[in-house]
Amino acid sequence: MKSVVLSPQLLAEIEAHGRATYPDECCGVLIAASPEVDGSDARTIEAVERAGNEFEGERRRRFLIRPEELRDLERRLEGSGHSVVGFYHSHPDHPARPSQFDQEHAWPWYTYLVMSVTASGVPAVGAFELDPDTATFREALLSVPEPTPQTAAVARG
C-alpha cells in the first residue's frame, strides 16, 4: 500500500470545495507526478482540480465526473510529467469512508479521498485504494505534513 501525501493547502482546497457544495456531494481529481517519473512508495498529490458533479439524480448521495471532462484534463497533462492519480469526493453527513456504491464504481491503482462534510465543517478525510484481487477498498495512510517555517514564510509572501 502506498501512502498518500497531501499538503495542508491542497487539503484546504478540497475541504472548501466540500463546504461550498454541501449538502450535495462534490468531486474532483488528484494530480501527481506520473508513476514512471515518480517511482516512490509515497504518492505525493501536487494539484487538485474541481470537477462538476454531473450525476442526474440525488446529488446528496452520488457524484459523476463526465468521461469527457476527465479526458480533457488528461490531454492537458500530456507531456507535463504529471497524470491523474485519483479522485476525491464528499459524503455529506456521512462518514469519510467509501460506500458500497463507491466500491462498485472504483478502479484499481487510483487513490480515492473521501471526506465527511457536515453543516458545521469537515470532520474527517480518509484515503483509500481498491485492492485489485478482492475488489474491496483498503485504507491508505494519509499524511498531511505541517508546513515548515520556511514554507509558511514563502506562502505569506
Q: State how far Cα 2 lies from the chain centre.
A: 15
Owning domain of residue 24 = 3-156
What does the pLDDT read at residue 156? 47
What domain count does the chain have? Answer: 1
What CA–CA distance (Å, rounded) separates 74 from 70?
6
pTM here is 0.87
Number of residues assigned to the chain: 157
What does the pLDDT read at residue 64? 73
151: domain CATH number is 3.40.140.10
Residues facing residue 27 across a β-bridge: 51, 89
Q: Are 39 and 153 in contact (CB under 8 A)?
A: no
Question: pLDDT digit of tens for each residue in the chain (157 aa)?
Answer: 579 999 999 999 999 999 999 999 999 999 999 875 555 678 999 999 999 886 666 656 777 788 899 999 999 999 999 999 999 999 999 999 999 989 999 999 999 999 999 999 999 999 999 999 999 999 999 999 987 665 555 454 4
